[in-house]
Amino acid sequence: MKNKLRNGIALSIIPQIILVKWLGNHPDWVERYYSNGLYLWISKFFRTLFGWIPFSVGELIYTALIILAIRYIVKNRKKIKGHPLKFLRDVVIVLSVFYFTFHMVWGMNYYRKTLAETLAIRDEATIEQIKKLTEDLIAKTNEIQFQITADSTALVKVPYTHNEIFEKTINSYKALDMQMPFLEYQRPNIKKSMYSIPSSYIGINGYLNPFTNEAQVNSTTPVFRFTVVSGHEIGHQIGYSAENETNFIGYLVTLKNEDIYFQYSAYAYALNHCLRAMHRIDKEASIKLYKKLNAGTKKNYQELIDHNNAYKTPLEPVFKSIFNTFLKANNQKDGIKSYSKVVNLLVGYHEKYPL
């Protein structure tokens, strides 16, 4: 590749960034022409191409690229040391190609209309509203926990394999897309991550590979939470990038499943977020609310805590910091805190559709 072409590709990252940010000021355009236009074709193509393969092609590609990058650096270390500016330019070329590809195949979804607008609900909540929803969710969670176990102190064990959960989640999307067309999910492609154990050490329960449109779920995640995470990752696949929105979609799709274990997981998931929100707002009130919860559900929450503690590592805060920066760079100003913003959507939705 000639130097002029290399320089041109490297420098193209500047107008790319400007163009993306400009388009980001026009969410209606992004919604109409990208999220509900070009992206639908791109995502279906990749899910058709890779969906039938039982393992993650994207993870193999990532592995190969990392190995090749390390090999290149080791093999050419003297040349790199002698011509650092050329190496820096080559790095920028890679970043420029990555930036273009990422936004073309998925990333522009960060700039689409909000889910609150699509659902015509409010995306804000008062302390009183959060407290009321928390109380309602405690009642629902306790009711279903007892309905499943006939013992308020018993742990709920979801009796399904990972693949059965994937199938039930896909069926839940199919059942909902008539009422909510924005949840239409064709040509499924959801898999267990081959790197579930390393993912656990850096705090990842699942992720979407934007370049192959494969949704990966961490297989070490407690089954009690695996249901909602599966719905969350498919939410990314259908074109929703914001974490609070895919948290809500994961909750909604799991809640609307006919299976009682899924409903329990959904209520307990939403309740967990609301209790955390109450703890930040009013610690004493959150403690009183938590005491009303059946001991069986508390044991399910302890499952999650034990899982997280078992994989604690100094690397996790580092990864979260990097991911926080990535989210902020992609139109999520709250960064990693945007996950907890799902509470506003929960309040807005159940204000319109009471529990």
Work out the average pLDDT over 322-348. Answer: 69
**245-284: per-residue pLDDT in tens?**
999 999 999 999 999 999 999 999 999 999 999 998 899 9
Rounded to two decimals, what is the model's pTM?
A: 0.92
The count of domains in the chain is: 2
225 and 100: one domain? Answer: no
Contact call for residues 136 and 220 (beta carbons, < 8 A): no
For the stretch 321-348, what's the b/e string if a residue is b when 16 or more beta carbons lie within 10 angstroms of its beta carbon? Answer: eebbeebeebbbeebbebbbbbbbbbbb
87 and 206: one domain? Answer: no
What is the share, in percent, of the chain residues with pLDDT greater than 70? 92
Contact call for residues 7 and 91 (beta carbons, < 8 A): no
Examine the pLDDT at 233 and tell me if it is beyond 50: yes
100 and 124: one domain? Answer: no
* 190 strand-pairing partners: 215
Q: Where is the domain boundary, 70, 95, 111?
A: 111
Contact call for residues 256 and 168 (beta carbons, < 8 A): no
Q: How many Å apart are CA 138 and CA 292, to the nearest integer?
A: 7
**19-77: per-residue pLDDT in tens?**
999 999 999 999 999 999 999 999 999 999 999 999 999 999 999 999 999 999 998 88
pLDDT at 338: 47
Q: Which range among 3-7, 47-51, 128-132 shows the weakest confidence by mean pLDDT?
A: 3-7
192 to 122, 156, 214, 299: CA distances (angstroms)? 35, 23, 10, 25
DSSP sequence for 15-51: HHHHHHHHHHT-HHHIIIIIIIIIHHHHHHHHHHHHT
% helix, strand, coil for the chain, step of 5: 70, 5, 25
102 and 120: one domain? Answer: no
6 to 11, 15, 78, 322: CA distances (angstroms)? 9, 16, 21, 28
Task: Supply the mean pLDDT for the chain.
Answer: 91
Q: Which structural domain, as residue segments, surrounds residue 20?
A: 3-111
Examine the pLDDT at 336 and tell me if it is beyond 70: no
Q: Give the β-pairing of 214-217 and 206-209.
A: antiparallel
Examine the pLDDT at 339 and tell me if it is beyond 60: no
107 and 197: one domain? Answer: no
Q: Where is the domain boundary, 58, 76, 111?
A: 111
77 and 128: one domain? Answer: no
12 and 42: one domain? Answer: yes
77 and 102: one domain? Answer: yes
Q: How many Å apart are CA 246 and CA 179, to the nearest integer?
A: 18
**64-104: per-residue pLDDT in tens?**
999 999 999 998 888 888 888 888 988 999 999 999 999 99
125 and 103: one domain? Answer: no
First-to-last alpha carbon distance for the chain, in angstroms, is: 61
Q: How many Å apart are CA 252 and CA 88, to the nearest integer?
A: 46
268 and 127: one domain? Answer: yes
Question: Residue 314: pLDDT band by 50, 70, 90 thresholds?
Answer: confident
Examine the pLDDT at 328 and tell me if it is beyond 90: no
Q: Where is the domain boundary, 82, 111, 140?
A: 111
Contact call for residues 354 and 133 (beta carbons, < 8 A): no
Q: How many Å apart are CA 44 and CA 281, to the nearest integer?
A: 42
Q: How many Å apart are CA 60 and CA 46, to the nearest integer?
A: 15
68 and 216: one domain? Answer: no
* 178 strand-pairing partners: none
Question: Residue 332: pLDDT band by 50, 70, 90 thresholds?
Answer: low
Work out the average pLDDT over 163-178. Answer: 94
What is the share, in percent, of the chain residues with pLDDT greater than 90? 77
124 to 121, 129, 245, 347, 348: CA distances (angstroms)? 9, 10, 13, 8, 7
239 and 316: one domain? Answer: yes
Q: Which two tokens stand for residue 19?
A: 């163009």
pLDDT at 50: 96
Question: Residue 177: pLDDT band by 50, 70, 90 thresholds?
Answer: confident
Q: How many Å apart are CA 214 and CA 190, to the nearest integer?
A: 6
For residue 269, give the nearest of 286, 289, 245, 252 by alpha carbon: 252
